[in-house]
Amino acid sequence: MSTHFKRVALIGKYKSPEVTEPLLQLARFLEGRGIDVVIDPLTAGHVSGRRPTVLTLEEIGRQADLAIVFGGDGTMLNIARTLAPFDVALVGVNLGRLGFLTDVSVDTMFDTVDAMLEGAFVVETRMLLSSDVMRGDLRLDDVVAFNDVSVNKGAVGSLIELEVRIDGQMMYNLRADGLIVATPTGSTAYALSSGGPILHPSLSVFALVPVSPHTLSNRPIVISGDSVLEIRVLDAADARAHFDSHSHCELKVDDRIVVRRCPHSIRLLHPADHDYYHMLRQKLHWSETPG
Active site residues: 73
C-beta separation of 20 from 106 below 8 A = no
C-alpha radius of gyration, the chain, whole number: 21
Is the CB of residue 146 less than 8 Å from the CB of residue 80? yes
Q: List all residues 6 or more positions away from 147 whose beta carbon is below 8 Å from its beta carbon.
A: 77, 182, 183, 185, 186, 189, 190, 244, 245
Sign of CA dihedral 201, 202, 206, 210: negative
The two beta strands, 89-94 and 104-105, are parallel
What DSSP line would sit under 260-271, residue for residue?
Answer: EEEEEEEEEEEE
The span from the CA of 250 to the CA of 233, in Å, is 11
Q: First and final CA of the chain: distance in angstroms? A: 50
